[in-house]
Each structure stands twice: as structure tokens, then as C-alpha cells.
Amino acid sequence: MRLVSLVTLCLGSALALSACQKAGEAEVDRAVQDVIAGDESSLNDIMLTVADPDEAVVYFKRVSAEKPDRIDFQRGLAKSLIRAHRQTEAVAAWRRVSEHPEATSEDRVDFADALIRTGEWNEAEAVLDAIPPTHETYKRYRLEAMVADSNREWGKADSFYETAVGLTTKPSGVLNNWGYSKLTRGDFREAERLFLEAIGYDQSLFTAKNNLVLARGAQRNYQMPVMPMTQIERAQLLHTLALSAIKQGDVAIGKGLLEEAIETHPQHFEAAVRSLRALDSKVVN
């Protein structure tokens, strides 16, 4: 009996040890997979932020080919192509992402964004229309506003711009877009207001500063607005204002602004010099 009990005990211990080993191996495997997944996620994040865009494209093309079912790799490739300014390729990549079974509404918004970048407005509108109205994001409404602008549906555009502004803590870009929309419609005062508001949120946004000067010039207001600007920016804005004045027939004012721009710029301002020479040549002839 003692021998049987001992054998039974040994067998039980061996089985328990075997089970423990298998459980331990399974835990190790899971831990390894978690580390790999964590490393992949970290590497993906690096590639989508600080890595060179073209290097990121090469990386995501490789991993997408190795694991074609992984939507995160396909999405990474599409985003990297946008960062690398390879817009036509990006459209094809976002199309593949949007057709993936795991595609989200945000993926389709990004697809619409890529289509707009290549001027495919009709398809972009169709993609946005197919997204459920419950998907309410800043980017979706910004794109909706841009599409409405392209269709000259001003009321819808204003509504979408206003909604987009309310959905972000950094509205400078969309305010600039909205202001430019007003500028193209000839609503110069409202455009000026929106550009000033955009600059208030981001004082480094030179595009809004330049657009502001255009809006003032369109009203024949050739005074430089009060806003933060570097010496180089001031020279460039004076050049923009000068061209606006000349375009409207205020040639003497435009010439004076060109001379001021050349004098203000800390280096040789070739563009303004050429403009002044061309103006002088035209006046002489």
C-alpha cells in the first residue's frame, strides 16, 4: 500500500509540475506578445510623429506587406503618405483602409481629407455624407465646411465652420479658412474679424496675417494692422499690401509701400525689388 501511495503521489506531483510548467510557459508567451505589441505600438507612434516621413512610408509598406490584415499598419501607411506629401498614393491607401472590415468613421473622415487634398471634391462629399451624423468631430465639420464652400453653399459653410470652431481648443486654422471663405465672397469686414481672431489664438500663423492684410487692402485700408510680427514678416506683409494697392489703381501708395518693404527687410528683398522695378518700368513706358 505504501508503494502504491508513493507511486500515486509521485505521479500526481509530476503531473502538477508539468501543468505548472505549461502554465508558466503560457504566461511567458503572453508576456512576450504583450512586449512585442507594446514595442510595435511605440514604434508606430514614433514613425507617425518624429520619424522622417519617407522613412515612415518605407516602414509601414514593409509591415503592411508582412501582415496585410492589420488595419493599424495600413492606417499608418496612409498617414505617413500624407505627411510625405504623396497625396495620390495617400488616397489609394486611405481607400484600402476605409474598405477594411475594422474601418472606423474617423478613417473615412481621413479618407475624405485625402480626397480633398487631390481636388476630388465630389467623392469627398459622398464619403462624408455616408458617415453617420452621430460622428461629430472637429475634423469632420471642418471638411464639411470646405466642401460646402466649394459648392458655394455659404449658409451651410458658415454653420459647419461655427460648429468646428466649437469642437476644438485650437481653432486658429479653421478660423483662417472661414475668413478666407468670407474674403472670396467679398465680405471683407467679416473676413478681417475672423483673421484677427485666428491670429489671437496663434500669433505665429503667418497665413492669417497675410490674409488679414489682403482683406484690409481690398477695403483700400493700407495701414498695417496692429499685431505681433517679426521684421521679415512686416516686410513681406508690406509687399502684399503694396501689390493690393497697385491692383486697385492706387499706384503711388503701392510704390511707397514697396519702398518701405525693401527698407524694412533685414536682408535683400528680391521679390519687392522686382515688383518695384516692374512698376517703375511700367510708369516710364
- Residue 11 confidence (pLDDT) above 90: no
Interval 110-114 mean pLDDT = 98
| Range in 43-57, 70-84, 227-241 with the lowest mean pLDDT | 43-57
Query: How many whole angstroms separate alpha carbon 36 and alpha carbon 29?
Result: 10
Q: How far apart are CA 54 and CA 65, in angstroms?
A: 17
Mean predicted confidence (pLDDT) in 251-277: 95
- 36 pLDDT tier (thresholds 50, 70, 90): very low
Q: Is residue 200 part of a domain?
A: no
Residue 159 within a domain? no
Cell numbers given for 167: 469642437
Confidence of residue 27 (pLDDT cuts 50, 70, 90): low
The whole-number average pLDDT for the span 245-252 is: 95
Q: What is the mean pLDDT of residues 13-21?
A: 48
What is the Cα–Cα distance from 204 to 173, expressed in whole angstroms? Answer: 11
Residue 270's domain comprises 230-285
Closest Cα partner for 114 from 146, 78, 140, 144? 78
Closest residue by Cα to residue 128 from 152, 102, 160: 160
**Tens-place pLDDT, residues 59-71:** 999 999 999 999 9
Q: Of the candidates 103, 120, 135, which is a domain's last residue?
A: 103
Return the C-alpha cell found at 25.
Answer: 510557459
Kind plus residue range of the DSSP H or E element containing 182 = helix 172-185
47, part of any domain: yes
Burial string for 100-118 (b: 16+ CB within 10 Å, else e) reads eeebebebbbbbbbbbbee
The residue among 163, 103, 114, 107 whose CA lies nearest residue 138 is: 163
Q: Determine phi and psi for 169, rounding to 5 degrees.
A: -90, -5
- Closest by Cα among 77, 79, 72, 64 to 37: 72
Task: Decide if pLDDT at 20 tops 50.
Answer: no
Number of domains in the chain: 2
Can you tell me the mean pLDDT for 101-123?
97
- Please state, in angstroms and rounded to a whole number, the distance separating the CA atoms of residues 185 and 236: 25
In a domain, 219, yes or no: no
Closest by Cα among 78, 86, 67, 81 to 104: 78
Pick the last residue of a domain from 56, 81, 103: 103
Last residue of a domain, one of 87, 103, 119: 103
In a domain, 56, yes or no: yes
pLDDT in tens, 182-197: 999 999 999 999 999 9
pLDDT above 60: residue 25: no
For residue 38, what are the contacts with CB-CB under 8 A and spacing of at least 6?
none
Band (143; pLDDT cuts 50, 70, 90): very high
Does a structural domain hold residue 223?
Answer: no
Q: Is residue 238 part of a domain?
A: yes
Asked, for residue 184, whether it belongs to a domain, the answer is no
pLDDT at position 285: 54
For the segment 108-122, the average pLDDT, to the nearest whole number, is 98
Cα distances (angstroms) measured from residue 75 to each of 16, 56, 79, 112, 123: 46, 12, 6, 14, 20
Q: Is the pLDDT of residue 106 over 60?
A: yes
